[in-house]
Amino acid sequence: MPSRLNLHNTVALITGAKRIGAVVAEELARRGVNVALSYSRSKTEADLAVARVRALGANGQSFQADLTSPDACRALVASTVASFGRLDILIQMASVYAARPFDELTDDDWAASANVDLRSSFLCAQAAVPHMRAQGGGRIINFSDWLAKSGRPRYRGFLPYYVAKAGVIALTEALALELAPDHVLVNAIAPGPIVAPPGTTSEEHRAVETATPLGRWGGEIEIAKAVLALLDSDFITGETIRVDGGRHVR
């Protein structure tokens, strides 16, 4: 059975509705994809993203979900299928990104990254796969980080985040092997300097531009382009693709 995916009238679930997730949702809607968006606390941003999806003629809905909870991960997938009737694409962007020195790390800090960045990616995939199997295939796109893909943490203060994102790469590879017979292709995107985190100073912003061979931040659209490229491919699976302006080669 071929694994080709005709995007028109398919359904995508995106975990993480802010900033990059909203732009990805909009670009999917332009291709005729109906989009479910999950959010933890950012209801306003999620509702705005849904409005943009609907303005493009696609169906869009948002769901609140605490992805630290296994039951919530499963319920999110179930709610998506109940509302849309199917699930073809799972894009897992939800993440915990917070700096804290090693000596100040708590059990909760570790659990937050491990549960949201890594465990929820497994649980949502596990819940989604039966629906994809029923349709003869699907796509799962996880989100790692350019540093984890490059195999070097580089920045102090992000230990749980880095470990979780490295785990996402391993999860992607293992899921790709497990799900290949079901024509479910599993890949990951490892963003670099796409959009500046809140609180970034102008000096820090310019330093990143200087350190990036292409000399600029990429912008959300570059992630959307990578997502669409992976959705269009019928023969890429188990891969993690850096979208970092060449940052890893410097």
Q: Which of 39, 97, 155, 161 is catalytic?
A: 161
Paired tokens of 225: 């382009």
The Cα–Cα gap between 114 and 97 comes to 11
Strand-pairing partners, residue 35, are 12, 60
DSSP-derived secondary structure letter, 248: G
Phi, psi of 49 (to 5 degrees): -65, -40
Burial of 111 (0-12, 13-18, 19+ CB in 10 A): middle
Most distant pair of Cα atoms in the chain: their distance: 53
Burial class (CB in 10 A: 0-12, 13-18, 19+), 192: buried
Encoded tokens for 78: 């179930």
155 is catalytic: no
Q: Looking at the annotation, which residues are catalytic? A: 161
